[in-house]
Structure 1
Amino acid sequence: MATYDLQPEMSAAVVADSVIDAIESQQYAFIVVNFANGDMVGHTAKREAILAAVEALDGHVGRLLDAAVKANYSVIVTADHGNCEEMVDPITGAPQTQHTSYPVPCLIIDEQAWQLSSVGGLSNIAPTVLTLMGLAKPAVMQSRSLLLKPLQSNVHLASYEGAA
């Protein structure tokens, strides 16, 4: 395809299906997945395509998260930069086609409730993964895990299909 706005869903369905198959196989202790839609379609600065890309990701990431939770996987959802959240440069009014420098969210899903650090960056992700996997952090890693300590929790999360 000439530009990503022509197919904003890209290969998200195929990627999600492949990862869900890997999760359900229970053969992998660690899985990394990159959905590039927000980045690649974001570079086009075309509003409708960006919205379609985010909408596609919403559905496919949701399916993947459902499979991960069902299989008792811990999940970290984050990014290394923003892009599609700002389609117009606020100063010039021109289309924004570059990466943004805004902080990006980090969502951690785990059966254990955790006290989380209120600050962090990309360098904190690897130590956080090691904590979730119960592995020691190598001395060469300078950053700390985003997971400060386990919490007692009386919250129960459930997913229900269909309407009440």
Structure 2
Amino acid sequence: MRKAITLTVNGKSRPADVDTNLSLLDLLRAELGLRGPKYGCGMAQCGACTVLIDEVPARACMLRAARIDGAAVTTLEGLADAETGALHPVQQGFLKAEGAQCGYCLNGMVMTAVALLRRTPDPSDALIRDALRHNICRCGAHLEIVASVREAARLLRGADV
């Protein structure tokens, strides 16, 4: 069965005719060519596929695209400034504090950190760890990831984002 939907993806209206079983992740990657969200576990457990839906972190691998008709979806690609290409402060924080090794978890860590810092501009390390607890980093870069979010918070407090 198919359904016509329209999503706002990274600020652009994107109509699509989707199979009702198509995951949001498959729509974003296969049909829209966005590579930020990754396929990790396919069970919403690892966080590699995290996107923001109406500003709330969500696992795209388990969401059916047809069920979020009308929603605003932000992917990793949508964080950078569209006009200048300047990276979002959270992306800058991860670069500066070297918060990635292999980079596979990076999408989920960044997207979850963006949502956290919008809610809590100056989180404690405990709050950062709690917010990221459902995102798996297999490389063990957890200390650098926490430092990256702290750096991003510092950058955001100095920037109007």
TM-score normalised by structure 1 residue count: 0.23
TM-score normalised by structure 2 residue count: 0.23
More strand by proportion, 1 or 2?
2
